Amino acid sequence: MNGRCFQVWQISAGWFKGCIADAQTKILFDNSWMTNFPDDLMLAILCALGKLPDERNKTVFYTELEPARAKWALSADDETLSVHVTVYEDDSPTAEVLSDQTAVFDKNIFLRDFTAEMDDVLQRFGLLGYRSEWDAEFPLSLYLKIRDLAAGQQTVSCDDEVPAADNMGVEAVRSDFAAERRLLDSI
């Protein structure tokens, strides 16, 4: 055990296993390939922290535990990030609740531990190895934004735009790929 509040124990054959724990609560997860847990979690973290546009707000998501199903709900205030996980017996509307847990973290400590753990995942598996085991791409753009926030920086954003002349007459948002590469190089 590495003492981090977010830990990934195993990624193998479409299963993503680990735990998330504060001083009082330890929430185990064992999510199947049927939903994209890492992508959904990173998106929810960024949405809870207010770092993605409202139209992409997704602070609640579901994971499949086969046959059980878990509902994850994230929220944040100025200092803390809360993770509430309710595990249901199955995905039926009348499913019995098997567990209902909430863990609350200092936002900065959670971001530090989360990025350190995901750095370890990348070092352990690599991008192609991760895809081979999880059967989905590593959510690199979301991860880089979280890593940027954890470092107390604001270098990764979509504040720029692609001019209409460079995109067949339609303006589009863009991020600074050089800044993103610098973050990648620091892993």
* Closest among 148, 164, 68 to 112, alpha carbons compared: 148
Question: pLDDT tens digit string along 139-156?
Answer: 999 999 999 999 988 888
The SS3 assignment for 66 reads coil
- Residue 168, CA distances (Å) to 159, 160, 163, 174 in order: 20, 17, 9, 15
Contacts of 7 (CB under 8 A, 6+ apart): 1, 18, 19, 20, 21, 117
Question: pLDDT tens digit string along 68-126?
Answer: 999 999 999 999 999 999 999 998 889 999 999 999 999 999 999 999 999 999 999 99
pTM summary value: 0.91
What are the CB-based long-range contacts (under 8 Å, 24+) for 131-134? 133/11, 133/12, 133/13, 133/14, 134/11, 134/14, 134/16, 134/33, 134/38
